[in-house]
Amino acid sequence: DKRIKIWEPNSAKLMQTLRGHQQGVMSVDWSPDGRQLATSSWDQAVKIWDPFSGKSLQTLKGHKNQVWCVAWSPDGTRLATGGSGMTVKVLEAASGNLLQALEGHTRGVSQVAWNSKGNRLATSSWDKTVKVWDPEKGTLVQTLQGHLSSVNCVAWDPEGTRLATSGSDLTIRIWSMSE
């Protein structure tokens, strides 16, 4: 319904409703310090919010298609986004400036995930692949293939040595990663 609702978990009391997206919200991610919230939407925008006041701090535009996923870098200085446009964008969080446009997926990008060091970015896609990028250089490090259908989710382990992925082929895969 285009809104983000923040609930107090112990009392289930509604704490804040964030309004500003023009279409459905697809993804949310807390900043590492817990002071900001990033959201992505079908309206082609990424918003950064003060979740406590309910104010939209910034609207990051530049996507020409729906933005399905957003994730803060571990140091809170960058955002990675992806969506139906197939290009993964790495943005400077403070300004919204484009740092890298990562191209290589042939269908929409379903999820983006930073490793704990912030030196690798994994992306899952409807093209049945997972790609691992160097977000500083903007280069593709590795393409993981094995899912028989779209890959919907990707997550790093805390050490950054393994990736977990799940796909529409009803499988979860664990991938061993090297630097």
3-state secondary structure 146-166: CCCCCEEEEEECCCCCEEEEE
Please report the pLDDT score of residue 37 as a whole number: 97
Sequence length of the chain is: 179
CB atoms within 10 A of CB 153: 15
Q: Show the tokens assigned to 23.
A: 């279409």
Per-residue pLDDT of the chain (179 residues; tens, 9 = 90+): 799 999 999 999 999 999 999 999 999 999 999 999 999 999 999 999 999 999 999 999 878 899 999 999 999 999 999 999 899 999 999 999 999 999 999 999 999 999 999 999 999 999 999 999 999 999 999 999 999 999 999 999 999 999 999 999 999 999 999 76
Residue 67, CA distances (Å) to 5, 31, 85, 104 in order: 19, 18, 8, 17
Task: Please name which of 120, 82, 74, 119 lies closest in space to residue 104, comparing C-alpha atoms.
Answer: 82
- AA letter at 7: W
Please report the pLDDT score of residue 1 as a whole number: 76
Please report the pLDDT score of residue 62 as a whole number: 78
Could you tell me the pTM of the whole model? 0.92
Place of tokens 């139906």: 84
Please report the pLDDT score of residue 63 as a whole number: 85
Please report the pLDDT score of residue 179 as a whole number: 60
Please say whether the dihedral angle defined by the alpha carbons of residues 174, 66, 168 and 2, taken in this order, is positive or negative: positive
Distance between CA 142 and CA 170 in Å, rounded?
Answer: 23
Instruction: List, in order, residues 6 or more apart from 160 with CB less than 8 Å away.
Output: 115, 116, 117, 120, 177
